[in-house]
Chain A
Amino acid sequence: MALAIRRKRTRELLLIWFFLAPSLLIFLLYRIIPLLWNGVLSFEFWSPYKPAEFAGLYHYEEMLIYDDVFWQAFWNTAIFMASAPIGILIALMVAILVDTPIRGRNVYRTIVFMSYPVMTVAVGIIWQWLYNEKVGLFNYVLMSLGIVEQGIPFLETASLALPAVIVASIWQVLGFYMIVLLTGLQNIQPSLYEAAAIDGANAWMRFRRITLPLLRPSIFLCFVIGIINSFTNFDLIYVMTDGGPSHATELLVTYIYRVAFKLAKFDYAAALTIVNFLFFVFLAWLANRLSGGEAGAVETG
């Protein structure tokens, strides 16, 4: 009898590991091994055509001390990230508006959200067209209102290119922020507002004292999405500006792609990747600390 139970248990264990194996294999192959491999590569001189050679900190020294483009890409990524609150603020306003009991609010929600599932490459092409110097909508409006005499080449001007790309990026992610915030708003008990109203709190005070604190996890989640977005937004940059003009819109991820797959400097790109990853982990840790350490936790039980 004991033997039968043991055999049954072994069979179940086999089944469990058999079920886990494919997913584990994929994550091992495309997440864990690449990360470790990047670490190794970054300390080597290596290219597909010659054997590896130990390089010590050579690539890191090169990057941190001599590579201006790296620093440019680093700061651009940071600016991209710092722009997330603007999008979140707009999304918060929209979420509050579509949370009110008005007619057609589902239609409004759908329209605001519609830009999110759209292919980013297409978004880039559409926005590049809107920014066009001669026939773009923005210049058309600006000229019609008499604000400018001649069209502005937004994406070809170093100081305007990054903000222009950021606007397009906010446009795309706005609906997603809105849905996250709306879910948070709908989880707040209406009785809290009623009690506060009876106590004589005005609308602004209710917003400050009830809505904002209870919405904190949702706002935090939006921030995390914003951070990830600024580290991974490759498609939009590639299509709209390809990092130009003169690296004004270069992000770390586009720079890594350029160094690895255009210049074939895989070892240097690996070092860039490691710095990029550490930066990302540091920010995620910081955000988690600032939000009280509990946010983003998944129930593991």
Chain B
Amino acid sequence: MNRFPKWVIHLGLGIICAAMMVPFYWVLKTSLTGENIFAYPPALIPENPHLFYYVDVWYSIPFFRYLVNSVIVSIIVVVANVVLNAMAGFALTREFMGKGAIIMLFLSCMMIPFQVTIIPAYLITKEIGLLNSHLGMALPLCSTIVCIFVFKASFDAIPKSLIDAARIDGVPDWMIIFRIMVPLSQSAIATNIILAFIWSWNNFLWPLIIIRDNDMQTLPLGLARFLTVVEDSTGALYAFCIMVLVPGLVIFLLAQKQFIAGLTSGAAKG
């Protein structure tokens, strides 16, 4: 592809990037200048930007409550994912009877999208009394097959001689795990944290089904409800959008490298 002059490439990428950024820009602009909503033609550059709509959102709906709910669920999911996936990944590095069957079971579970299990999943959650609860929202997301295999690969890559040497020195097994295996699996842990956070932060269908109380709504639910309830306050709706998007984007930009590496390493082995 060297035959293109550089400016052509820059131009092509410029157009694509503009197309990717325009929706973000448009919503940001609208959230800052509500008065232009019904003006025609719409101004391309915000006039008299202000933050009133953000203040509106904060006070007109229990935004803080939604935020706390989202954060609680995300914390449960992230912690559970790292701990449980690491445990399962570690177990799969050992030899035991039925290991092949367990791996087959995990792989076939991957073929069952969560969306096709929602009805019995709802009934089961009802049976164990977790409707309308943080734990109920978090539980289905608490372990992920892709990340189990990421951990397994990471543990497998640790040289056996290192562990044997520690054993000979009389280091107990649990200390081997915390002092050798965990520090050497930092990238797997980072990948898992980021993925689990994004999944739980953006999760919508499951909370929509099991949450009835207003007090238990998470941010995506609040956003979707806001859309149907308040039709005339477009500026506030877009301010709400921006407030919900920012945490995800910030986390992504901070951890971009691991995020992208994690996505591709977890997914691509073909």
Contact = CB atoms under 8 A, between A and B. Distances in A.
A122 B17 contact: no
A135 B91 contact: no
A30 B117 contact: yes
B13 A277 contact: no
Interface string B24-44: 101100100000011011100
Q: What is the interface of chain A mostly: helix, strand, loop, or mixed?
A: helix
Contacts of A114: 20, 24, 249, 252
Given A94-B13, A257-B205, A300-B103, A117 B252 contact: yes
Given A97-B12, A102-B6, A26 B140 contact: yes
Contacts of B224: 121, 238-239
Contact of B249 (A118, A137, A180): A118
A13 B30 CA distance: 60
A123 B102 CA distance: 38
A30 B13 contact: no
Interface stretch (A51-59, A154-162, A217-225): A217-225
Given A31-B112, A144-B41, A234-B205, A239 B227 contact: yes
B17 A121 contact: no
Interface string B103-127: 1011101011111111111111000
Interface stretch (B46-54, B81-89, B164-172, B179-187): B81-89
A41 B120 CA distance: 9
Interface in B58-96: 84-85, 87-88, 90-92, 94, 96
Interface string B209-229: 100000000011001100100
A107 to B, nearest CB: 8
Given A33-B124, A203-B2, A27 B87 contact: no
B245 interface: yes
Interface residues of A, number: 99
Contacts of B230: none
Contacts, number: 275
Contacts of A284: 111
Interface in A161-199: 171, 174-176, 179-180, 183-184
B260 interface: yes
A207 B87 CA distance: 44
Interface string A12-52: 11011101101110110111111101100100000000000
Contacts of A179: 260, 263-264
B258 interface: no
A298 B17 contact: no
Given A125-B237, A260-B119, A29 B220 contact: no
Contacts of B12: 93, 97
A173 B6 CA distance: 27
B117 A34 contact: yes
B194 to A, nearest CB: 9
B13 A97 contact: yes
B113 A232 contact: yes
B20 A111 contact: yes
A29 B124 contact: yes
Contacts of A90: 16
Highest count of chain B CB atoms <10 Å: which of A19, A20, A97, A238: A20
A207 B1 CA distance: 9
B115 A137 contact: no
B24 to A, nearest CB: 8
A288 to B, nearest CB: 10
Contact of A115 (B20, B118, B123, B142): B20
A177 B3 CA distance: 25
Contacts of A122: 220, 223, 241, 244-245
B109 A32 contact: yes
Interface stretch (A63-71, A79-87, A265-273): A265-273
A183 B16 contact: no
B109 A31 contact: yes
Interface string B227-270: 10000001001100100110011011100100110011001111
A137 B269 contact: no
Nearest to B153: A299
B88 A23 contact: yes
Contacts of B248: 117-119
B81 to A, nearest CB: 10
B73 to A, nearest CB: 14
6 contacts: A19-B90, A33-B124, A90-B16, A97-B9, A99-B1, A235-B204
